[in-house]
């Protein structure tokens, strides 16, 4: 059992509160990714779990044991740092064996474990080299190897891929996913890159300004973001947002008006908003179609730029009220810049957020 | 291809450095050549190299046979080496504590230690002498080691803590996550990484201790506890100075200092090149 549970965990540096009462429960063997913009407290939260920072208030359990006052080594965690943190004066072998010697006295057992980790990570040829003689990707693998040999209850990754180039990042990402499947251990992974979060995570924790915005599987966050922040953070290109006014709030539908566009109606759970209230509509670029057959939401605008990526084209539109919208269209779009077009989305693809940015419950939105 | 302007620039820099080296080495060179000459030859032409008719080992013979030079020599070595060991060990540990741990009074303690850099220890000679007399340590090498340790620690701590602050935080934290104890982090991670700095500080500590005349004169002037620099003084009289012996003993005194320097400077160069590859 190596579950992790945070109960109302807070952290303050002096008078500055950086983590505000966070509750997260992570199951044994789960791959959880903390994601958020820089300065949101995700790294601090990871360091709290590691025991590198002291928890100001709240309780932290690892494998059902309260570990607030335990040192990193007593918590049974292994951490992989963004800078790799390899000891520059030691060979790859010694880097991996250094921490291990403390817990494992038997020399042959140490060697067996290091050789085994080296085999998994394809580092066998490099064991005698110094970190300075390795490429970025190899150093990253040594850092991961140093964590593996200790057979920890929990792996903690702090932005492990951000120092790698794009191609290597994708490759290492896949290796980490494979590693998780082979080892089956609990992993907490911090990143600011939502693609890494989406591809690796069993569950994602979206953080903003020291608070948890939403916890859920990648698809839950993608399909039903709980608020505007999550909606904007998950998905690439970003979800389009358009300001609208509630013309009439009926029992099961809303009549909405966007400046310079014809009024339209969307399905809704009653009582969520009142007449005249300002709301924000959110539509993902891939759910918008040019033209389309009687869409629930239709927006007219001028095409500014078209980007062709081969498999997909991005249309950058300016609506009549001046706001920008991105449309992602499969294949090669026939739209040309300067052209006036109408783009639309079905009822189920439109998210509605109230004035405070919270998502309204909508019966028709896809939730899978 | 080196462009001509660059070459001139490089030549100029080297000429200046070479000139400086010559000026720095000239007195030492004079001491060494004259120590191999007869007394008459020293005065007739101090700049001349020893020739067949002027060559003489009389100074060395006198120093090695008629005085306790071996005792003085050993005293100097003991004082320097023990001081160096204590200063580097305690200095590195204190520097690590001051740079790594946040504790109450840390800044005050660091300032207190820094004051030692600015105040020359010789200002306290009278009190130091009283203290050493009260401790019953007069005419012992221990007295010298203690005073030199106090004299060298401030700068050592200051320089080393600057270096230790530059060691990435991640390295220490990685070691902590690995379950490595604080002592082992210090010995196995921090010390190896600060080795060039420690070598530098070692040289800076060693030279003034080896060359000091003041404290041996007032704290340990006894025949058994004299250091080389003090021992040499017996050849310098008010009316007659035995230049052969003075120059010979000074020549001999250069050797161990040079040896310690060579050992440390090799570490220094190794540290610099190790850093360059990264």
What are the pLDDT digits (tens) for A34-86?
999 988 999 999 999 999 999 999 999 999 999 999 988 889 899 999 888 89
The per-residue pLDDT of chain A, averaged, comes to: 89
Please indicate whether, in this complex, the C-beta atoms of A102 and B184 are within 8 angstroms of each other.
yes
pLDDT beyond 60 at B275: no
Q: By a Cβ cutoff of 8 Å, what residues of chain B touch chain A?
A: 168, 170-171, 173-181, 184, 188-189, 192-193, 274, 277-278
Please give the average per-residue pLDDT across A253-280, as a whole number. Answer: 83
Q: Supply the pLDDT for residue B270.
A: 61
pLDDT beyond 50 at B259: yes
- Picking from B177, B193, B278, the nearest residue to A72 by CB comes out as B177
Q: Supply the pLDDT for residue A368.
A: 41
Q: Which residues are paired to A265 by β-bridges?
A: A255
- Picking from A52, A87, A102, the nearest residue to B173 by CB comes out as A52
- Write down the pTM of the prediction: 0.78
Residue B180: list chain A partners with CB under 8 A. Answer: 73, 98-99, 102
SS3 state at B240 = coil
Residue in chain B nearest A95 by alpha carbon: B175
pLDDT > 90 fraction of chain A, expressed in percent and rounded: 49
Contact B232, B250 (CB under 8 A): yes
Contact A149, A96 (CB under 8 A): yes
In sequence order, what are the residues at sequence separation of 6 or more whose Cβ sits closer than 8 angstroms to the Cβ of residue A114?
Answer: A93, A96, A97, A100, A127, A145, A149
For the record, the structure tokens of B148 come out as 């030199």
What ipTM was reported for this prediction? 0.76
Q: Supply the pLDDT for residue A332.
A: 87
Please indicate whether, in this complex, the C-beta atoms of A99 and B179 are within 8 angstroms of each other.
yes
Residue A73: list chain B partners with CB under 8 A. Answer: 176-180
Whether residue A17 is preceded by a cis peptide bond, meaning omega within 30 degrees of 0, is no
pLDDT beyond 50 at A10: yes
Q: Supply the pLDDT for residue B1.
A: 54
Q: Supply the pLDDT for residue B239.
A: 75
Q: Residue B199's pLDDT band (boundaries 50, 70, 90)?
A: confident
Task: Return the residue matching tokens 């057992």.
Answer: A109
pLDDT beyond 90 at B60: no
Taking only the tens place, the pLDDT of each residue in A95-128 is 999 988 877 778 899 999 999 989 888 888 999 9
Q: Supply the pLDDT for residue B238.
A: 72
Of A261, A247, A350, A212, nearest in space to A360 by CA: A350
Please indicate whether, in this complex, the C-beta atoms of B278 and A89 are within 8 angstroms of each other.
no
Please indicate whether, in this complex, the C-beta atoms of B170 and A102 are within 8 angstroms of each other.
no
In sequence order, what are the residues at sequence separation of 6 or more whose Cβ sits closer than 8 angstroms to the Cβ of residue A25?
Answer: A3, A4, A5, A6
- HSE-up of B58 (CA within 13 Å, CB side)? 13
Taking only the tens place, the pLDDT of each residue in A173-222 is 998 998 899 888 899 999 998 889 999 999 999 999 999 999 999 999 99
Q: Residue A364's pLDDT band (boundaries 50, 70, 90)?
A: low
Residue B271: list chain A partners with CB under 8 A. Answer: none
Residue B276: list chain A partners with CB under 8 A. Answer: none
Residue B184: list chain A partners with CB under 8 A. Answer: 102
B184 to chain A, closest Cα gap in Å: 10
Q: Supply the pLDDT for residue B13.
A: 93
What phi, psi does A351 have (nearest 5°)?
A: -100, 140
Q: Supply the pLDDT for residue B2.
A: 57
Please indicate whether, in this complex, the C-beta atoms of A89 and B192 are within 8 angstroms of each other.
yes
């Amino acid at each position: 059992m190596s579950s992790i549970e945070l109960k109302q965990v807070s952290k303050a540096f002096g008078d500055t509160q950086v983590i505000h009462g966070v509750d997260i429960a992570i199951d044994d063997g789960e791959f959880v990714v903390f994601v958020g913009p820089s300065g949101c407290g995700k790294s601090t939260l990871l360091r709290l779990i590691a025991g590198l920072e002291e928890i100001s208030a709240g309780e932290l359990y690892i494998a059902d044991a309260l570990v607030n006052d335990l040192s990193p080594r007593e918590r049974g965690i292994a951490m992989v740092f963004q800078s790799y943190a390899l000891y520059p004066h030691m060979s790859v072998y010694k880097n991996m064996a250094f921490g291990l010697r403390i817990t494992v006295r038997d020399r042959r057992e140490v060697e067996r474990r290091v050789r085994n980790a080296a085999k998994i990570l394809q580092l066998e040829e490099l064991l005698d080299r110094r970190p300075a003689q390795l490429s970025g990707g190899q150093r990253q693998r040594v850092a991961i190897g140093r964590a593996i040999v200790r057979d920890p209850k929990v792996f903690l990754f702090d932005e492990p891929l951000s120092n790698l180039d794009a191609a290597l990042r994708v490759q290492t990402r896949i290796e980490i996913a494979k590693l998780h499947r082979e080892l089956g251990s609990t992993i907490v992974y911090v990143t600011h890159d939502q693609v890494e979060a989406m591809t690796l995570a069993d569950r994602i924790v979206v953080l903003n300004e020291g608070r948890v915005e939403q916890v859920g599987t990648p698809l839950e966050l993608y399909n039903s973001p709980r608020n505007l922040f999550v909606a904007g953070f998950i998905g690439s290109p970003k979800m389009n947002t358009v300001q609208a006014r509630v013309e009439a709030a009926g029992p099961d539908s809303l009549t909405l008006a966007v400046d310079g566009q014809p009024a339209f109606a969307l399905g809704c759970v009653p009582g969520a908003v009142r007449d005249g209230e300002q709301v924000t509509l959110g539509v993902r670029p891939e759910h918008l179609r040019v033209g389309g057959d009687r869409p629930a939401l239709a927006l007219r605008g001028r095409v500014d730029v078209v980007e062709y990526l081969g498999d997909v084209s991005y249309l950058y539109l300016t609506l009549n009220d001046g706001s920008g919208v991105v449309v992602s269209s499969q294949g090669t779009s026939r739209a040309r810049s300067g052209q006036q077009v109408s783009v639309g989305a079905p009822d189920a693809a439109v998210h509605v957020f109230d004035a405070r940015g919270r998502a309204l419950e909508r019966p028709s939105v896809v939730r899978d | 291809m080196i462009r001509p302007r660059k070459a001139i620039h490089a030549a100029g820099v080297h000429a200046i450095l070479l000139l400086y080296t010559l000026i720095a080495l000239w007195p030492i060179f004079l001491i060494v050549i004259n120590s191999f000459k007869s007394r008459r030859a020293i005065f007739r032409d101090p700049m001349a190299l020893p020739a067949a008719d002027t060559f003489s080992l009389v100074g060395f013979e006198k120093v090695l046979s008629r005085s306790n030079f071996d005792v003085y020599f050993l005293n100097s070595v003991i004082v320097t080496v023990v001081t160096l060991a204590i200063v580097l060990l305690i200095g590195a540990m204190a520097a690590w504590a001051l740079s790594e741990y946040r504790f109450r009074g840390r800044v005050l303690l660091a300032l207190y230690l820094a004051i030692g850099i600015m105040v020359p220890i010789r200002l306290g000679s009278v009190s130091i002498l009283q203290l050493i007399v009260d401790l019953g340590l007069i005419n012992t090498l221990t007295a010298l080691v203690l005073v030199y340790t106090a004299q060298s620690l401030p700068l050592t701590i200051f320089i080393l803590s600057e270096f230790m602050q530059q060691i990435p935080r991640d390295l220490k934290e990685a070691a902590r996550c690995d379950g490595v104890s604080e002592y082992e982090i210090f010995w196995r991670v921090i010390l190896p990484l600060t080795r060039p700095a420690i070598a530098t500080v070692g040289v800076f500590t060693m030279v003034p201790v080896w060359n000091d005349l003041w404290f041996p004169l007032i704290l340990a002037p006894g025949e058994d506890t004299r250091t080389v620099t003090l021992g040499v003084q017996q050849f310098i009289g008010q009316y007659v100075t035995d230049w052969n012996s003075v120059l010979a003993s000074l020549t001999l005194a250069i050797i161990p200092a040079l040896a310690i320097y060579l050992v440390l400077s090799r570490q220094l160069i190794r540290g610099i090149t190790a850093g360059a590859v990264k």
